[in-house]
Every structure is written in structure tokens, then in C-alpha cells.
Amino acid sequence: MQESTLSIIKPDGVEKNLIGQIYKRFEDSGLRILAARMIHLTKEDAEGFYGIHSGKPFFSDLVSYMTSGPVMVQVLFGEDAISKNREIMGATNPKDAEKGTIRSDFAESIERNIVHGSDGPETANSEISFFFKREEICLPTI
């Protein structure tokens, strides 16, 4: 099924100058970028976005990390985009991630793991609308 998902290149990915290499992986796998923006999240943005994790022991570190520098946010679109993006990303902990995935190749640790991807259709919808207005998403014309 053709669907959309939200991807974030986290501050360590931007800092390491990996935007182009990560975009190439998305494109090589057939995903299209329909919207994109670089932003520096505020504490309120990061707390809101990761609200599901509030109360977990790593929450305040996660918010500090996500606000430590600019991030790239993008809407990815294509066949099974949600699971395809999660496959390209690899497991949350880079130690468990399969070779050739973004996290295995570039991430330092479970805390600094380079990318985010929505984990299901409901979160994809809510995360996309967290960052983008409908008119900012350029649907494919082909």
C-alpha cells in the first residue's frame, strides 16, 4: 500500500553531515520525499513530539539530545513506507541493528541513533501533522 511516514534526521545525523547519504538511501529504496524542513526543536517541541515517552528514565536525556542542534524532518512516501523506513533505519540500539542499516552504519549508541521513523499508521499521521501543514506536502503527480 502507498502510504506516508515521518522521518527525522536527528541532531547527530545533521552534525555528522549525513543528510545527503541518508536521503540517498531513502531514494534508492524507492521512497519519495514529499516535504522537508530543517528546524531546531525547542524543549516544548521535543517534549510534545516524544510525549509517549514522558516518565521513562531516558526522557530528559532524549529531550536534551533532540534539542542539541538542528534536525531535518521529512515526509517519506511510497509502498509500505512506514515499515520500509524502519527497515532502512535498523533497530533502535545500533548494536542490534543489521549491517547496512543507517543506525548500524552511523549511530554511536541507543541514545544517539541518527534517525527517527514513525512506527505505525496512526503515529505517522499525527507526527506528519505535528510538523507539516497539508499544503506543504507535495503529493506525487506521476
Residues lying near Mg ion in the complex (CB under 5 A) are found at 119
What does the per-residue mask of binding to ligand ATP show for 67-106, with x meaning CB under 6 A? -------------------------x--------------
3-class SS of residue 10: coil
What's the closest the beta carbon of residue 66 comes to ligand ATP, in angstroms? 8
Residues involved in catalysis: 116
Least distance between ligand ATP and beta carbon 27 (Å): 20
Interface with ligand ATP (CB under 6 A), residue from 11, 13, 94, 117 = 117
What CA–CA distance (Å, rounded) separates 96 from 134?
36
Closest approach of Cβ 119 to Mg ion, in Å?
Answer: 5
The three-class DSSP label of residue 73 is: strand
Nearest 5°: phi and psi at 54? -65, 140
Expressed in angstroms, the distance from the first to the final Cα of the chain is 16
Which of 93/139 has CB closer to ligand ATP? Answer: 93
CA gap 16, 114 in Å, rounded: 9
Q: Check binding of 58 to ligand ATP (CB under 6 A).
A: yes
Give the nearer residue to Mg ion in terms of CB position, either 35 or 124: 124
Of 48, 28, 37, 106, the closest CA to residue 73 belongs to 37
